[in-house]
Structure 1
């Protein structure tokens, strides 16, 4: 113990000194910075410049590109919902309207009568022909690291916004994210800067590369609700697009070669897919519970998801019924076998639709982010085209399967010179037949 204390105490003291020095150094670095500090970010159609001066941050939203602006706006946060926003737009008389807004859903933000910080329109904010500088100042929240969302809407002659701060707004055509470091020293150019700066020449030029201040949506931290939604998507994708198709392919390709196909089929369809889907559903429900803006079953994705889970439960029950309960007086393949096959194909098809809508619609709407995982949509398209080819190619084995069922050729487990007893036929997805006390799985 004494030896341990003799080692740990000096190390702890050294850590304390180092930490104190680091904090002091960081504080001094901020205090020793003379002149304005700030950062900027540029998207395709607009740039955001932020300059910290005392306890006030001056923001300048500048239109770039060839599209006339309808409005420009930023929000102080990482998601559209419950994020205080400042939206600005040009008027026909050359003036600029500033409107502070907020929303609890992914719809047009409404005016915020009690914003946490009041933005003030800068006197120099005037435009000519839709181009110019949209500037405002806002009290500093004493955070040098600022996460922003921004949006740009093109001018729409069929949806003109009036000068009133509560005017209706047309939908945006560009959205993005930025992470600004307001502690960066900046150099203010001596010459007058063009009101339409290029990506390499913003109004305030940081001493570091602009890439240091650019943050893609994928790099922003996920909220608790978004983390649950992310993992929900992973589990449901694995359940509906990996395990269920794998079970179908095993049944289609292996049934004429080995009696073990049925065991592999039900393990993939039930033992593996079931827990994955169940966990995914629970995580999806919890993602909604943790969100302040999303409610249960409020859109097509959530409603189809509930229907899909119900259909999966029905398919499992139907498969168990076919396996355990055999019709006594059937003269052909039982109807429930065909139904099981059709429901299985529909289930996988709807699974593809559901995962696709989650990637392209639900994830962006719920999180305000763009791509779920790089390449996820491409992988979805490839698998959606490849799986039907693999499955229907397996139908080439159907003649052999039918001969085995009639006893013309040996099956994988039993050989019989007479047709199997009535009702003992396999569906395209899964079932078994009892032949002379043996579990015949074709």
Structure 2
């Protein structure tokens, strides 16, 4: 069952997709049992049970929906859930690409280059008097820019997404902050 928390025959979703000439529309939605208190599109869901991403193919013709087929939108598009489609079918949004790049740069910088420089210092200083040159080159010249680029991509992705820095509804409240 796609939405196990929604039961009965009266569950439905209704919305409009503005026409902007696109052939496909990527939609992210969430639902919960707590009323947000507003019908505004920017209203926050206090707690959500589930979220999904769907693609609407806006090139399809409008056909009447039957109980055996998925519902169609007013433009005739049939939703397809992201878990049924391959990862190549769903392009990442620009800020999501930046988050992936942020993760890659930080993982490589912190988990590959920094330990590599430390291990070089640990094991080569007994064999070579020039160990320090290799150590600082890896730590400063390679690790430093990689980590700074990763941190900058993290900040830039939050800005591009229009989100708040280091503050969201999923954080744990620390009594010492």
TM-score normalized by the length of structure 2: 0.63
Query: Shift of residue 181 of structure 1?
Result: 0.9
For each residue in 1:225-284, what CA deviation from the matched residue of structure 2 results, as whole angstroms up to 9, or x when unmatched?
Answer: 444443333322222111111012222333333334333222211221122223333333
- 1:236 aligned onto 2:106: yes
**Aligned partners of 2:36, 2:147: CA distance in 1, in Å?**
49
Matched residues, number? 161
Query: Shift of residue 139 of structure 1?
Result: 6.7
Q: Which residue of 1 aligns with 2:60?
A: 184
> Which segments of 5 or more consecutive residues in structure 2 lack a partner in the other structure?
172-177
- What does residue range 79-118 of structure 1 map to in structure 2 within 5 Å? none
TM-score normalized by the length of structure 1: 0.30
- 1:150 aligned onto 2:29: yes
Using a 3 Å threshold, how does the CA distance of structure 1 residues 203 and 287 change in structure 2: closer, same or farther? closer
Could you say what secondary structure the match of 1:132 adopts?
coil
For each residue in 1:45-85, what CA deviation from the matched residue of structure 2 results, as whole angstroms up to 9, or x when unmatched?
Answer: 2xxxxxxxxxxxxxxxxxxxxx333xxxxxxxxxxxxxxxx
**Aligned partners of 2:154, 2:45: CA distance in 1, in Å?**
31
Tell me the C-alpha RMSD between the 2 structures.
Answer: 4.2
- Structure number with the higher helix fraction is 1
Q: Which residue of 2 aligns with 1:251?
A: 121
Q: Which residue of 2 aligns with 1:136?
A: 14
Q: Which residue of 2 aligns with 1:44?
A: 2
Could you say what secondary structure the match of 1:175 adopts?
strand
Q: Which residue of 1 aligns with 2:174?
A: none
Using a 3 Å threshold, how does the CA distance of structure 1 residues 242 and 269 change in structure 2: closer, same or farther? same
From the CA coordinates, give the structure whose radius of gyration is larger: 1
- Structure number with the higher strand fraction is 1
Give the alignment partner of residue 274 of structure 1, picking from 130, 134, 144: 144
Q: Which residue of 2 aligns with 1:171?
A: 47
**Aligned partners of 1:217, 1:171: CA distance in 2, in Å?**
30
Could you say what secondary structure the match of 1:246 adopts?
helix
Could you say what secondary structure the match of 2:2 adopts?
coil
> Which segments of 5 or more consecutive residues in structure 1 lack a partner in the other structure?
1-42, 46-66, 70-128, 301-360, 363-442
Query: Shift of residue 179 of structure 1?
Result: 1.4
* Contact 1:234–1:280, Cα closer than 8 Å, also in 2: yes
**Aligned partners of 1:280, 1:142: CA distance in 2, in Å?**
34
